């Protein structure tokens, strides 16, 4: 019996030791994850995380860090901060079967940003959340922020409340934010937003690769009402080349007595050299524009632009449509610049450029007198769907509504200008 008791005590001690060891491991892992997140922020990122103060305990940890978010449109490397905030957190890393750790956090605006918010709204604006870290290292958290309201005379500014959740797991980052209302009013104008949400799904958070969606149920101005607004953006990396797409959809727009429905416009750009895009972005981030460049920056911009042209790319508007009470507009277009595999320093538009597009205007959108003029000038033809205009450029030949347009002289000038650019630069 005594041996059994001793064995039981030993087993309990081993279990307690293992449990405590797992808690210590979780505490170390949390600290390393925080440091890695801070160090992994891209150099060109407008966000900086500084002053990490992590207090690691046996079964729990706590700490603080400061977030600075600079104005991305400002010029130079010392850009002013738009947002400064302090984050305080507490982590419970006692072992459980489901989670490595559980945590709570609070974000408080600081410095001039915090003072301005407090002056305007008369209260501190705090964002708080709670989340978990699982045994695979995935970190998820929900969060919420209270409503803010400023009112004086006829002026009103009401924001929120806000709520959402986020997930980070290796290169993956997901974020969802929603708010029921934004209300801005003054004596002469107003802006009301109802049910707004923003979603981000990144598959490579360090390079910003993934998709995002902004949705707004209703937006009202004094003369305009927009219903069912959706904006989508996505990009992907494929063997060193960047593809991205954007799309804007609106179910209904009413303005100045006119109504437009089912608006859908999409833009697609493919096969952009990623290295060139990164270099151009860095220069833009340093200067705010491409004016007053240093000699080194001019060389970078030239080399990056030449590389984009040499590798080729494609730009298209795959979807362009809208409905009105008088008819419908529908169109699409594509422009393709292929790489010159024979001599990269010689530009040949006839061999490298292909383009086509069409636009259909149905029923009575255009007044009859203008419709006749458009047809007479050869800008459009009549079809079963309505007025239709189309063009194509293939093998150096431009066709507009079936008519051949001589562009040989223009092509020669373009070829010479582009060849000079590829060899000499701008």
pLDDT in tens, 209-226: 999 999 999 999 888 999
Average confidence score pLDDT of the chain: 83
Given a cut of 80, whether residue 404 has pLDDT beyond it is yes
Q: Helix (H) and strand (E) counts for the chain?
A: 7, 22
Most confident of 91-95, 111-115, 342-346: 111-115
Q: For residue range 53-106, what is the model confidence (pLDDT) as tens digits?
A: 888 777 788 899 998 888 766 655 566 778 889 999 998 876 667 788 889 999
Q: For residue range 168-196, what is the model confidence (pLDDT) as tens digits?
A: 998 899 999 999 999 989 888 899 999 99
Per cent of the chain over pLDDT 70 is: 84
Q: 11: pLDDT confidence band, cut at 50, 70 and 90?
A: very low
User: What is the pLDDT at residue 374?
Assistant: 66
Q: 5: pLDDT confidence band, cut at 50, 70 and 90?
A: very low
User: What is the pLDDT at residue 74?
Assistant: 61
The string of DSSP letters for 334-370 reads EEEE---SS-TTS--HHHHEEEEEEEEEEETSS-HHH
User: What is the pLDDT at residue 163?
Assistant: 95
Average pLDDT over residues 130-157: 89
Separation CA 217–CA 33 (nearest Å): 38
Q: Are 376 and 392 in contact (CB under 8 A)?
A: no
Closest to 110 (Cα-Cα) out of 87, 91, 132: 87
User: What is the pLDDT at residue 72?
Assistant: 63
* 3-class secondary-structure state, position 283: helix
User: What is the pLDDT at residue 218?
Assistant: 96
Domain-wise residue ranges, the chain: 1-146
> What is the C-alpha R_g of the chain?
29
Given a cut of 70, whether residue 129 has pLDDT beyond it is yes
- 63 alpha carbon, distance to own chain's centre: 30
Q: Are 184 and 120 in contact (CB under 8 A)?
A: no
């Amino acid at each position: 019996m005594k041996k059994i008791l001793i064995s039981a005590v030993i087993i309990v001690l081993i279990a307690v030791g293992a449990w405590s060891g797992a808690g210590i491991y979780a505490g170390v892992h949390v600290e390393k994850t925080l440091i890695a997140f801070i160090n992994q922020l891209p150099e060109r990122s407008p966000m900086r995380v500084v002053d990490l103060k992590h207090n690691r305990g046996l079964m729990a940890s706590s700490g603080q860090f400061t977030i600075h978010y600079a104005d991305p449109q400002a010029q130079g490397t010392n850009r002013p901060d738009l947002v400064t905030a302090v984050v305080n957190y507490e982590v419970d890393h006692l072992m459980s079967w489901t989670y490595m750790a559980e945590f709570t956090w609070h974000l408080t605006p600081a410095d001039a940003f915090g003072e301005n918010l407090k002056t305007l709204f008369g209260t501190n604006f705090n964002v708080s959340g709670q989340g978990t870290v699982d045994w695979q290292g995935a970190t998820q958290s929900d969060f919420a922020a209270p409503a803010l309201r400023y009112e004086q005379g006829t002026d009103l500014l009401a924001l929120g409340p806000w709520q959402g959740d986020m997930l980070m797991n290796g290169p993956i980052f997901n974020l969802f934010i929603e708010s029921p209302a934004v209300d801005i009013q003054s004596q002469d104008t107003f802006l009301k937003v109802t049910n707004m949400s923003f979603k981000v799904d990144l598959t490579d958070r360090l390079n910003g690769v993934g998709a995002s969606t902004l949705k707004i149920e209703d937006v009202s101005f004094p003369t305009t009402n927009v219903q069912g607004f959706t904006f989508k953006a996505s990009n992907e990396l494929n063997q060193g080349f960047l593809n991205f797409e954007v799309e804007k959809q609106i179910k209904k727009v009413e303005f100045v007595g006119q109504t437009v429905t089912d608006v859908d416009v999409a833009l697609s750009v493919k096969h952009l050299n990623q290295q060139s895009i990164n270099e151009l972005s860095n220069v833009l981030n340093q200067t705010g524009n491409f004016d007053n460049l240093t000699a080194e920056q001019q060389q970078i911009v030239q080399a990056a632009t030449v590389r984009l042209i040499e590798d080729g790319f494609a730009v298209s508007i795959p979807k362009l449509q809208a409905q009105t009470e008088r008819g419908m507009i529908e169109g699409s277009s594509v422009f393709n610049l292929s790489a010159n595999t024979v001599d990269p320093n010689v530009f040949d538009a006839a061999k490298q450029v292909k383009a086509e597009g069409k636009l259909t205007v149905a029923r009575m959108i255009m007044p009859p007198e203008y419709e006749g003029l458009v047809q007479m000038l050869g800008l459009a033809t009549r079809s079963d769907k309505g007025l239709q205009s189309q063009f194509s450029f293939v093998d150096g030949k431009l066709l507009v509504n079936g008519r051949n347009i001589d562009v040989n002289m223009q092509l020669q000038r373009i070829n010479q200008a582009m060849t000079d650019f590829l060899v000499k630069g701008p």
